[in-house]
Structure 1
Amino acid sequence: MSSSPLRAITMQAGWHSLLRRGGGIMRDSASLMWTSTRVGTTHVRARQMALSAAPALCGNVLKRHIHASPSVTPDLNRPRTELASASQGHNALKIRWRGGEPDEFPYVWLRDNCLCSDCFHRSASSRLLRVADLSMNVRPREVQVSDDGDFLKVVWENGHESTYEADWLNERAFNTRQQSVYNNTYRLRPELWDSNMSQRIPRASFDELMEDDAAVLKLLENMEVLGFTVVSGARQEEGELQRLSERVSYLVASNYGTTFIVKDKRDASNVAYTSHGLDLHCDLVCLHYKPCVQLLHCITQFSGDGGDSILADSHRVAVQMKELYPQKFRFLTDILVNFRDVGIDEGFQFDIIARRPMISVRPDGEIKTVNMSTFGRDSHFGVSPEEAVSWYDAYLTFCDLLYRPENYITFKLEAGDILIMDNLRLLHGRTAYKDTAEGERRLEGGFWDWDMMRSRRRGLQMKLAGSS
């Protein structure tokens, strides 16, 4: 991290206050641990790294964040799985593998997933079996394993026949190992990072992304694991986000259009369209379907001091908050906050409101997203005065953690760079700059959707593994 961007940050009054407050948190902290994973097109390996919090908390955090890390790209050349035998239990078929541990498959699941042409449409990869034809009382009349161990044949009590390949069954086994493999296909595990990330910012080449599927796959893996990438070498003109999106994902429209220009504007409809410094935030928290991934293409950059980008891994800070201040953490997960965006942009008038907690968690307790926007948070607050005071105390404590120097990075985009960041996980901001000519610093922005990005990643994994 260069000294000039940090000087620019601390000179801003609001940030200076936060950094002062952060000193108290630092004195109260010791060390947390979190899992970090390295991205590659074939493997994601878990490793341990140090954070700041109380040492007694280390064991708890490690238990929740350390996982066995299966291959990111499916191994199409893995050894063939063979069935040894099958026997009937009360509610499940007991399978024994040659040279492996036994597994059980519920009868109702087997019948529900029959792959015959009457029950399954192969080209659509879709079940045809109607729910009315499925019963909890379904039982086999006969089960048989082929001599070579490649297939299992089940004849049900009503005479219907189902055949299952050994590999197909093994991939869907109900044991934790196979489910972990599938979970890593569903969503790659994130690596929580701190200010050391400034030494290893993930980068990609625009030209390579246009030509090389392996480069696209690496970009998508970096996005899931690290949450951001800087793409260099784009042309310094509008339209490059559309070109990149044709290779990677679809652009998603918002109330600012499919793409939008970020520059210092008179009568700006958004404070991002000014030269003011911006607190760390995520974009468009006012939308019930908050955009998943944001792209910012730097067409021209401000040549003087300022205009630096700031990034923080909000999930890492939320983990700190949960461990250090569990009661305050619950205020941020339980109390709903109003976010609102009112204005006119390119002739389109909007007044959009969403109500959500500042920290959203999944049913298993994992951090889902942090909803934070100083300028997007509404003044309407549907709580009691006492609850409001408690919420503000929790909010400022979270900000204390967030603005600690070890929890964010700063860097300056160059003309032709495209910053891509996970809007559900990363918070981004900007140092102030003095724009002497309107639009001297000019960026084009847009959004992608995680569903399409993960779909593209899975497809490329299969394609590249099959061609290797």
Structure 2
Amino acid sequence: MGIVATSPRFTINHVDNRSDHLDVAWADGHQSRFDAVWLRHTCRCDACGTYESGIRPLRLTEIPDDIALSEAGLNGDGGVDVVWSSDGHSGRFDADWLRSTCNSPAERRRRRWTPTLWGREIEGRVPEADYAVCKTDDDARLTMLEALRDYGFVLLRNVPDDPEVTAEIAALAGPLRVTNYGSVYDFTYQPDALVYGDLNVKLDPHCDEPYRQAPPSITCFHFVRAASTGGASTMTDGFRLGDEMREQDPEAFKLLSTVPLTHYRRLLKTGRDFRMRAPVFSLDEEREVAGIRLNDRGAGPIDADSELVRPMLRALRKLEAMLFDEANQVVVPVGSGEALFFNNQRVLHGRTEFAPDGERYMRTCNVELDEFYSTLRMLAQQQGREGAFMNLPHGALT
């Protein structure tokens, strides 16, 4: 699977066949247990197929619940060969695949990605990378994308100020997403703008397009020309806000992660009417924050049981007070010929007011979260990094 098998983590010392399961002892001292039915269901031989390819003739209903292992042992490649007693079927499992799918608590924790939470303290030392290097060096590109994964944003320096390369810049993270704004949208100052971002006013921290079933995720702001005065970006870590709110006011956090808001956008001139009901915070199976969707300018009336209306408004007020507190915002001045990538389902972005002289010209586009993860995994496998096996958050989905 791309991981060097000479590492003690991926070197098997010995295996013990326990009939209904297989015990594996690793060179680093770890012990794994693999269920016999689980092994049969995940057999990767040509006849059974693989779940990665989707070509998998084997059905779970064909496997007896009392199936047992009749033989098991190490093979010449350092993996494990097994034979099942019911039908004499044989299977071969690579050591790195077994370790990366081990269901021990320690290994499941290891596979679980942990975000780097941040606040104002990182101002002036935000994650950044060089575009020219990332474009030609896969290791540098992967490091840049890992920063985007871990922090939720990354600043890209030395970017061409040519508007024709915007899509190429964003493609570092994956294929572009097409929305009602097209694949690339131009932000320029317009005093009578239909899009709020085309005004020159200060923008409070917000998520873009929470009214969609799947909001934009990885967003790229390409600054062809920065504003002559003002226009700095602000970044706020929604994951950190969620953790702090849960600690300070568990009941408010529970409401915001269970009671949906209705997010609206009606564009009559273009014949579009969007709305989506979803909680502010999306949680994963461990009840950790996996995504956020919030734009107070587009949140409709609370549509919930009457006894929940006032508590929900209190919870929202508390969250927005934290959100609009500049102590939770990182100011990121982005100059001409630079680009800012951020995860719109984690990081709430804003902007300081800028001079309405028409100088500022920014282009923006998006990459789907699953496409970003795919790019990450492929590069991690190519570079032999274990990050390819990480379980990553599903984002702002209900």
**When the two structures are superposed, what TM-score results if normalisation uses the length of structure 1?**
0.75
Structure 1: gaps spanning 5 or more residues: 1-72
2:285 & 2:239 partners in 1: Cα distance? 16
Q: Which runs of 5+ in 2 are unaligned?
A: 386-398
The answer for the alignment partner of 1:70 in structure 2 is none
- SS, match of residue 204 in structure 2: strand
Asked if the contact 1:152–1:166 (Cα under 8 Å) also holds between the matched residues in 2, the reply is: no
**Structure 2: how far apart are the matches of 1:291 and 1:340?**
15
Matched length: 382
The answer as to 2:78 corresponding to 1:153 is no
Q: 1:438-460: per-residue Cα shift (whole Å, max 9, x none)? A: x4211101111222222222222
Structure 1 pair 178/329, CA: closer, same or farther in 2 (3 Å)? closer
Closer, same or farther: CA 245–300 of 1 in aligned 2, 3 Å: closer
1:461 to partner: Cα distance: 2.0
1:418 is matched with: 339
Q: Distance in 1 between matches of 2:235 and 2:224?
A: 20
SS in 2 for 1:433: coil
Structure 2 CA distance for partners of 1:316 and 1:76, relative to 1, 3 Å: same
Identity %: 23
Shift in Å at residue 266 of structure 1? 4.6
Match of 1:431 in 2: 352
Asked if 2 retains the 8 angstrom alpha-carbon contact of 1:291 and 1:448, the reply is yes
Q: 2:360 aligned with 1:441, yes or no?
A: yes
Q: 2:294 — aligned with what?
A: 372
Structure 1 residues 347-399: Cα deviation after superposition (integer angstroms, max 9, x where no partner):
74311111111222223210122221122223x43235553322222111112
Q: Structure 1 residues 381 and 92 mapped into 2: Cα distance closer, same or farther (>3 Å)?
A: same
Deviations 1:65-116 (A, max 9, x none): xxxxxxxx95554146234242325x42334556735432111111112233
Amino acid at match of 1:143: E
Residue in structure 2 matched with residue 65 of structure 1 by the alignment? none
Describe the SS at the equivalent of 1:163.
strand
Residue 223 of structure 2 aligns to a residue whose secondary structure is strand
| Partner of residue 200, structure 2 | 275
Quote the residue 1:217 is aligned against: 142
| Structure 1 residue identity aligned to 2:265 | D
Cα distance in 2, alignment partners of residues 418 and 388 from structure 1 = 41
1:201 aligns with 2:131: no
Counterpart of 2:183, as a letter, is T
1:82 is matched with 12
Q: Can you list the C-alpha shifts for 1:92-146, whole angstroms capped at 9, x where unaligned? A: 2334556735432111111112233211269947533133422212223x21424
CA 1:373–1:109: 2 relative to 1, 3 Å: same
Larger mean Cα displacement after TM superposition, 127-136 or 165-174 = 165-174
Match of 2:323 among 402, 405, 430: 402
> Structure 2 CA distance, aligned partners of 1:391 and 1:199?
36
For residues 209 and 359 of structure 1, do their structure 2 counterparts lie closer, same or farther at Cα, with a shift above 3 Å needed? Answer: same
Q: For the residues of structure 1 that align with 2:5 and 2:198, how far apart are their CA atoms?
A: 49
SS in 2 for 1:460: helix
Give the conservation status (yes or no) of the 8 Å contact 1:83–1:145: no
Correspondence for 1:13: none
Map 1:39-188 to 2 at 5 A.
74-79=3-8, 81-89=11-19, 91-97=20-26, 100-120=29-49, 124=53, 126-140=55-69, 142-146=70-74, 150-183=79-112, 188=113
User: SS of the residue aligned with 1:375?
Assistant: helix
Distance 2:342 2:82 in 1: 48
SS of alignment partner, residue 384 of structure 2: helix
Q: Residue 328 of structure 2 aligns to which amino acid in structure 1?
A: N
Three-state SS of the structure 2 residue aligned to 1:365 is coil
RMSD value, Cα: 2.6
Does the CA contact (< 8 Å) of 1:195 and 1:408 recur in 2? yes
